[in-house]
Amino acid sequence: MALLSIRDLRVEYRTSRGTVAAIPDFSLDIGAGESFGLVGESGCGKSTLIMAIMGYMGRNGGMPRGQILFEGKDLARATPEELRAIRGGRIAIVYQEPATALNPSLTIGQQLMEVPIAHTGASQREARAAAARVLQDVHLPDPDSVMRRYPHQLSGGQKQRVVIAMALLANPALLLLDEPTTGLDVTVEATVLDLLNELRQKYGTALFYISHNLGVIAQVCDRIGVMYAGRLVEDAPAAELFAHPRHPYTRGLLASLPRPGADKHSHPLVSIPGVVPSAGRAPESCGFLTRCGFATPGVCDAAPVAMIDSGAGHLVRCARWQDLPAEQVAAAATRGAAVRESDVVMDAHDISRVFPVGRRKLLANDRLNMAAQRGHVLAVVGESGSGKSTFAKVLAGLDTATGGKLRVMGADLASVPVRRRTPQQVAAIQMVFQNPDGTLNPSHPVGWPLARALRKFGIASGKADIEKRVTALLDMVRLPPSLRHALPRQLSGGQKQRIAIARAFAGNPELLVADEPVSALDVSVQAAVINLLLRIQEEQGTTLVFISHDLGLVRYLADEVVVMYLGQVMEAGPTAAIFEPPYHPYTEALLSAVPVPDPSIRTKRIRLQGEIPSPLNVPAGCRFATRCPRKLGTICDTTPPPRRDNRDGHVIHCHIPLEQLAEVEPVFRHAS
Amino acid sequence: MPASLPSTETAGRATPGILRRLPTSGVAMVGLGIVLFWVVLALLAPVLPMPDPNKSDYAAMSAPFSSAKHWLGVDSLGRDLMSRIIWGGRTVLAVAPLAVLAAYTVGCIMGLLAGYYRGWVDTLVSRASDVILSFPVIVLYVILIANIGPSALNIVVAVVLASSPGIARIVRGLVLSLMHQEFVAAAYMRRESDIFVMVIELLPNCRGPLITDFCLRLGYTTITIGTLGFLGLGLPPPNPDWGGMVKQATAMITVFPHMSLYPTVALVSLILGFNLLADGLTELSQAD
Amino acid sequence: MIRYMLRRGAEMLITLLVASFLVFLVTEFSPGNVARKTLGAFALQSQVDLLYEKLHLNDPLLVRYVRWAGVLTGLQADPLQDPALKLDFKDPRGDQYFGNFGYSTLYKAPVNDVLWDRLGNTALLAGLAFAVIVPLSLLLGVLAGMRAGTTLDRVVSTISIIMTSIPEFALGVILVAVFVVWLKLLPGTSPLKNNSGWPIWTQLILPVSVLALYDAGYVARIVRASMAEVMAKPYVRTAVLKGLPWRTVILRHALRNALIAPFTVILLQINWLIGGVVVTELVFAYPGFGRMLLDASLFGDVSLIEAATLIALFVATATQLLSDIGYRLLDPQARR
């Protein structure tokens, strides 16, 4: 018998526009000790489902139909007292944002201790001991000191460990995980996922893991379900799902992710057209109907499609699953090979950005060197605190360097803010920002910044001319001309980023700085925006500086890569060279932490210990020395590492000789 | 609150549409109704068939209560109460919005400059605001009006002095948070001027919270004007002024309570109208 | 923390200094000259001219301000007490001492004789009002905000909004009409004297109610908004989904965070009450600080206005300082 059995569940919300079925009909079984992952993009109803299981619906929510059987009890019809005993006791949750999930005015100890006190009637002393024990289990050093601290005194990764500890305190039978690593750096994410795997063995807890990230799910789960528009559309063992995805939506999700080893020249990303319908707006027969390339009238839109067993425990909700081609038809590789010119568009030499903080100095950028070739994509990767965004701002002129030279178009722009740049220089260096919700002024229609840019850059003047050019820009980013009168809030995240791209290209830039332009978008939308950006970049021969933390994406689109850590360049070179030995030890750890959405690929396990040092107090020698798994000895702590030149402009800053670095085993390996 | 609202593609701060969604808020509509009632009466005052508000009807003074000629009765000088209340409303509805608008002009400029430039401009504006705001409001009004003399213009001046620091503080806070938004950086990437960024990019995005605050301040300024009238610092007689009418009549409250109660009810209803409107707007801005 | 308090204390002094100068500027700059106000309407022009000269009233404003500050701090003798002026202004404390606020021309007595009794009466009135406001508004606000959208919430919110829409003088008129004129239960004036036929405590009920009702509505709305906001926070959800009893969720997790923001607001009500008493004291003929300030302003009694506003400002800035320090103690994130 299943531990958790959801049967024909319907979840509704009353809104000002009437009752909306966020989850029209949902069934699922999870066994004791099982690890089940539920994947889907935002708006698919994952979080709603988790909160329904916990009976936490808000005043306007309800479950008019169906059952949630947990250990034989129907949670959908449980009394408040019954729910209270189960919440935090038999079922616990780990939340997406640990920073907001913890009470800011209570100490960690107080927040942990109340769990055993409420559920097992433990005394203060027993509760304290239990809290200390579980903090040890989540590998937080010095539990006693952690218990005395307030949440804001811990780092993001530490807070998430506390939340996990809090969930495990009452030894629950089921642990619900709501995107627990979203927002964490990739190396921190890797250690949290390791921890979950370890604790699952130790406590025997069943996991119900929801995420939009297939790679993360693949690391933790035995069985994976795919959710779309409030329904489960596919349910299969993890390896089976990745090897033989059956539902067109699952296939679409996988195709929109860069495959390990593939790049933009060999395997272009394939996006899913359209967007996730808002709750209750999806067709009744098949929710995916309107976005599906295989939809057939009369078959797909007739009656609601049932879950079909395709064998080997692989369930799929598609009327045409047997008719679909065995392999996703790979789009023809249309892109030409990269232009190989040696025309340097941007050359940064010893760029530093130092912020004075009281009497101390914050080294955001410390003597950065990099160059971008005309028409190439230069990716700058690093985790938060690496200084990559500061560098992007210096490039764009939104900040100025405190040292070094930045040669663009024959001028040194290192300390020239955008205000003092010539109109030509400003038009030539443009930027696309990270946050689609902040990039457009909510008070003006989306065509307005485009028209404004055209006028300010002297590209067009006169009403008719500007109108024509705005239409052309919208067409370039594949948006209908009518959209220019819409307000930003009427656009989806992907559409907003398209407008931002159009705006950046209004002045025909030589150099485009893109700071994490797709990190806030859903995967299927991400692929579309990336394809668009690369197409325009290639057509116009623009040089792209792409700031990102996503190594999978960087491998896919970059020609050259710069790896940054704590304000300095650790490694730089052609993309292929970065992803093969010799690696800088930091690059190696970074690659190892990437959650690969493919169980057939084995990843070497390297985990970084400790926290990233404060940029106010950087290590004297190698910046990475305090966390380096391959640290040689005191030389790393005291002496800055030498620059070591490999072939093709591949540079590594490390005390370890290249020959030794070349001998390490590659991070990725096929399991076959 | 992910648990209570299903996420949709259009989620986000939708404050700009707030005035369009006004009819969906019952509270706001009641408030608007009350305010409009007084606005219509004030506009129609010259054409309504009522006695002159400043003309005494000596015949009615012996029995100053409600009659066919004087629906709400007359005051101690035999002047028609209804007429005086409606004409008094005209004064309040002219002075209060004017004063608040003037305060907004000054406050927005101060707040924009402080939030945008920060540094010494911010220090100057913030310190000056602190000084003004540390006065108990009524004390500030009393000292000011008692010294510069009671008149409509001086009331506007006093309201500007007393309210603009508060408005500046709100605008400054909004600007500080908006400055982190990427559309401001995007404006710099188009080489827009400081004035353009402040007025065209930043100010329109402050309007959601400011509309609510505007209504609250209208209510509060109406209270202030009434209170000043009651303290004898309102408009000089014989102009009808609600606060002043109450002041005149309080001495006779044991004999003729209606003389003070009617203008009181009028004043309270108008303030309530502004406050309900503000409350409804707040609710609407939090609904999304 | 000590450094912070020193810095804030210095800021407070500067604010006081600037504000008192502003008051000086407004009162002394006003139409009608100071000498005339001091001597009254029936004084001879020659007397006025003599005083004008004696007080050096044609000196620049700033010089006169420094001189006034000199008298206040006891560095200088009060020129009005100079027997040569024949004004018969006498202060038993002498003409030169620290805290010399000068001579009230309205009450024909040293300011220090006029001020403190009235301030005491006002402190009684405001203190009682504060003692009603705080528990009442906290109780209503927390109950309403705890379950936003319920009938209780709507009732409390509606009552609060109505209370904040009634100016004090209007509330005074309404309460007098009901309890004095109609029910004849309470006295309509509060001279704080026993010979009026009403015990003193009955004389306090209406003034305290007027002050408290308006303000409690306002504070309750703030508390309600803060509580409702906190109840929607993820950490409250965490507390509920930990399986904690509702009581614990409210008392331990919600309440403390919900009271951080209103704490400042509540302390600032002391500042507000100082202004609020002006109207209330006028309505009920209460012998307090507020009515004295009003009378002094209308009469143009410069010394008394200066003294009164300085005290009002001192109370206001001190409560501001207190609320800032309290805020730091309440909110661990603001602590350093």
CA-to-CA separations, A247 to A12, A227, A270, A325, C17, in angstroms, rounded: 26, 11, 15, 11, 75
pLDDT value for C303 = 84
pLDDT value for B1 = 29
pLDDT band at A483 (very low <50, low <70, confident <90, very high): very high
Assigned domain for A360 exists: no
B198: closest CA of chain C, how far (Å) = 29
Indicate if C298 and C260 belong to the same structural domain.
yes
- From first to last of its 336 residues, chain C has per-residue pLDDT tens of 788 888 888 888 888 888 888 888 887 765 556 677 777 777 777 777 777 777 777 778 888 888 888 888 888 888 777 777 767 777 788 778 888 888 888 888 888 888 999 999 999 999 999 999 999 999 999 999 998 888 999 999 999 999 999 999 999 999 998 998 889 888 888 888 877 788 888 999 999 999 999 899 999 999 999 999 999 999 999 999 999 999 999 999 999 899 988 998 898 888 888 888 899 999 999 999 999 999 988 888 888 888 998 888 888 888 888 888 888 888 887 764
Assigned domain for B24 exists: no
**Spatial distance between the Cα atoms of A388 and A72, rounded to a whole number of angstroms:** 52
For the ranges A18-22, A29-33, A528-532, B187-191, the lowest mean pLDDT is seen at A18-22
**Spatial distance between the Cα atoms of B243 and B88, rounded to a whole number of angstroms:** 9
pLDDT value for A523 = 85
Assigned domain for A442 exists: no
Report which of A629, A622, A627, A606 is spatially closest to residue A654, judged by C-alpha positions.
A622
Assigned domain for A140 exists: yes
Indicate if A34 and A109 belong to the same structural domain.
yes
Tens-digit pLDDT profile for residues B178-198: 999 999 999 999 999 999 999
For the ranges A329-333, A625-629, B206-210, the lowest mean pLDDT is seen at A329-333
Indicate if A85 and A111 belong to the same structural domain.
yes
Mean pLDDT in residue range A592-597 = 90
Please count the residue pairs, one from chain A and one from chain B, whose beta carbons lie less than 8 angstroms apart.
117
Assigned domain for A274 exists: yes
Indicate if C72 and C173 belong to the same structural domain.
no
pLDDT value for A328 = 53
Q: pTM of this prediction? A: 0.89
Residue B269 is part of which domain span?
A: 31-40+72-286
Say yes or no for a CB contact (<8 Å) between C244 and A88. yes
Pick the residue from chain A with its C-alpha nearest to B183. Answer: A439
**Spatial distance between the Cα atoms of C22 and A18, rounded to a whole number of angstroms:** 58
Does residue B238 have a cis peptide bond before it, meaning omega lies within 30 degrees of 0? yes
**Spatial distance between the Cα atoms of B160 and B167, rounded to a whole number of angstroms:** 10
For the ranges A284-293, A565-574, B260-269, C187-196, the lowest mean pLDDT is seen at C187-196
**Spatial distance between the Cα atoms of B6 and A15, rounded to a whole number of angstroms:** 10
**Residue listed under structure tokens 């007292």:** A81
**Spatial distance between the Cα atoms of A419 and B183, rounded to a whole number of angstroms:** 16
Q: Please check whether residue A22 is in contact with residue A48, taking contact to mean a CB–CB distance below 8 angstroms.
A: yes
C122: closest CA of chain B, how far (Å) = 14
Indicate if A208 and A68 belong to the same structural domain.
yes
Does residue C207 have a cis peptide bond before it, meaning omega lies within 30 degrees of 0? no
Residues in chain C: 336
pLDDT band at A326 (very low <50, low <70, confident <90, very high): low
Q: Which CATH number does the domain housing residue B146 bear?
A: 1.10.3720.10
Q: Please check whether residue B155 is in contact with residue B231, taking contact to mean a CB–CB distance below 8 angstroms.
A: no
pLDDT value for B123 = 92
Phi and psi, residue C296, nearest 5°? -60, -40
Assigned domain for B47 exists: no
pLDDT value for A577 = 93
Taking residue C39's Cβ as centre, other Cβ atoms within 10 Å add up to: 18
Q: Which CATH number does the domain housing residue A186 bear?
A: 3.40.50.300
Instruction: Tell me: pLDDT of A342 over 50.
Output: yes
Three-class DSSP category at C25: helix
Report which of B70, B19, B61 is spatially closest to residue B284, judged by C-alpha positions.
B19
Indicate if A156 and A213 belong to the same structural domain.
yes
For chain A, say whether C234 makes contact (Cβ under 8 Å). Answer: yes
Report which of B7, B87, B10 is spatially closest to residue B50, judged by C-alpha positions.
B87
DSSP A420: G
A550: closest CA of chain C, how far (Å) = 28
A559: closest CA of chain B, how far (Å) = 26
Mark the ranges of chain B whose per-residue pLDDT is less than 50: 1-15
* Boundary residue ending a domain (A174, A191, A221): A221
Mean pLDDT in residue range A181-188 = 89
Of B8, B13, B24, the CB nearest to A278: B8
Assigned domain for A266 exists: yes
DSSP A152: G
Tens-digit pLDDT profile for residues A154-170: 988 899 999 999 999 98
B-chain residues within 8 Å CB-CB of A457? 190
Residue A654 is part of which domain span?
A: 576-670
**Spatial distance between the Cα atoms of A163 and A155, rounded to a whole number of angstroms:** 12
pLDDT value for A643 = 94
Indicate if A25 and A139 belong to the same structural domain.
yes
**Spatial distance between the Cα atoms of A524 and A544, rounded to a whole number of angstroms:** 22
Indicate if C60 and C176 belong to the same structural domain.
no
Portion 55-74 of A in contact with C at CB < 8 A: 56, 59
For chain B, say whether C178 makes contact (Cβ under 8 Å). Answer: no
* Boundary residue ending a domain (A204, A221, A238): A221
Instruction: Tell me: pLDDT of A146 over 50.
Output: yes
Indicate if A212 and A232 belong to the same structural domain.
no
* Boundary residue ending a domain (C50, C75, C107): C107
Q: Number of structural domains, chain B? A: 1
A-chain residues within 8 Å CB-CB of C243? 84-89, 115, 118-119, 170
By DSSP bridging, strand A560-565 and strand A568-574 are antiparallel
What are the tokens at B106? 């000054």
Assigned domain for B51 exists: no
C256: closest CA of chain A, how far (Å) = 8
pLDDT value for B77 = 78
DSSP A96: S
**Spatial distance between the Cα atoms of A344 and B7, rounded to a whole number of angstroms:** 45
Q: Give the CB-side neighbour count of residue A373, counting CA atoms within 13 A.
A: 16
Indicate if C257 and C314 belong to the same structural domain.
yes
Indicate if C331 and C314 belong to the same structural domain.
yes
What are the tokens at B181? 């938004």
Q: Which of B126, B147, B281 to mutate to test the interface with C (most CBs of C within 10 A)?
A: B147
Residue C316 is part of which domain span?
A: 113-335
Please count the residue pairs, one from chain B and one from chain C, whose beta carbons lie less than 8 angstroms apart.
128
Indicate if A60 and A112 belong to the same structural domain.
yes
Q: Number of structural domains, chain C? A: 2
**Spatial distance between the Cα atoms of A147 and B119, rounded to a whole number of angstroms:** 39
Phi and psi, residue A316, nearest 5°? -145, 140
Please count the residue pairs, one from chain A and one from chain C, whose beta carbons lie less than 8 angstroms apart.
74
pLDDT value for A611 = 83
Report which of A291, A323, A293, A289 is spatially closest to residue A303, judged by C-alpha positions.
A289
Indicate if A166 and A241 belong to the same structural domain.
no
Q: Number of structural domains, chain A? A: 3
pLDDT value for C151 = 92
Assigned domain for A131 exists: yes
Mean pLDDT in residue range A77-94 = 93
Indicate if C127 and C259 belong to the same structural domain.
yes
Average pLDDT across chain A, whole number: 91
* Boundary residue ending a domain (C43, C75, C107): C107
Indicate if A96 and A214 belong to the same structural domain.
yes
pLDDT band at A634 (very low <50, low <70, confident <90, very high): very high
Indicate if C211 and C282 belong to the same structural domain.
yes
Of C177, C278, C320, the CB nearest to B138: C278
| Sequence-distant (≥ 6) Cβ neighbours of residue A229 within 8 angstroms | A24, A44, A45, A276, A277, A282, A287, A288
Say yes or no for a CB contact (<8 Å) between B143 and C27. yes
Residues in chain A: 672
For chain A, say whether B253 makes contact (Cβ under 8 Å). Answer: no
Of B135, B230, B275, the CB nearest to C164: B275
Indicate if C224 and C181 belong to the same structural domain.
yes
Q: Give the CB-side neighbour count of residue A208, counting CA atoms within 13 A.
A: 24
Mean pLDDT in residue range A215-234 = 93
Assigned domain for A567 exists: no
Q: Please check whether residue A423 is in contact with residue A443, taking contact to mean a CB–CB distance below 8 angstroms.
A: no
Taking residue A635's Cβ as centre, other Cβ atoms within 10 Å add up to: 13
Q: Which CATH number does the domain housing residue C231 bear?
A: 1.10.3720.10
Portion 249-278 of B in contact with C at CB < 8 A: 250, 253-254, 257, 260-261, 264, 267-268, 271-272, 275-276
* Boundary residue ending a domain (C87, C107, C127): C107
pLDDT band at A553 (very low <50, low <70, confident <90, very high): very high
Q: What percentage of chain A exceeds 90 in pLDDT?
A: 71
Of C27, C180, C278, the CB nearest to B147: C27
Residue ranges of alpha helices (H) inside A21-177 are 46-53, 80-86, 98-101, 108-120, 124-137, 143-148, 156-168
In our burial notation (b when 16+ CB lie closer than 10 A, e otherwise), range A192-224 reads bbbbbeebbeebebbbbbbbbbbbbbbbbbebb
Q: Please check whether residue A70 is in contact with residue A92, taking contact to mean a CB–CB distance below 8 angstroms.
A: no
**Spatial distance between the Cα atoms of A196 and A138, rounded to a whole number of angstroms:** 9
A-chain residues within 8 Å CB-CB of B13? 442, 489
Taking residue B59's Cβ as centre, other Cβ atoms within 10 Å add up to: 10
pLDDT value for A470 = 96
pLDDT band at A635 (very low <50, low <70, confident <90, very high): very high
* Boundary residue ending a domain (A284, A317, A335): A335
pLDDT value for B14 = 40
Indicate if A132 and A279 belong to the same structural domain.
no
**Spatial distance between the Cα atoms of B204 and A444, rounded to a whole number of angstroms:** 9
Pick the residue from chain C with its C-alpha nearest to A169. Answer: C242
Indicate if A89 and A135 belong to the same structural domain.
yes
Say yes or no for a CB contact (<8 Å) between C252 and A56. no
pLDDT value for B17 = 65
Indicate if A282 and A178 belong to the same structural domain.
no
A59: closest CA of chain C, how far (Å) = 9
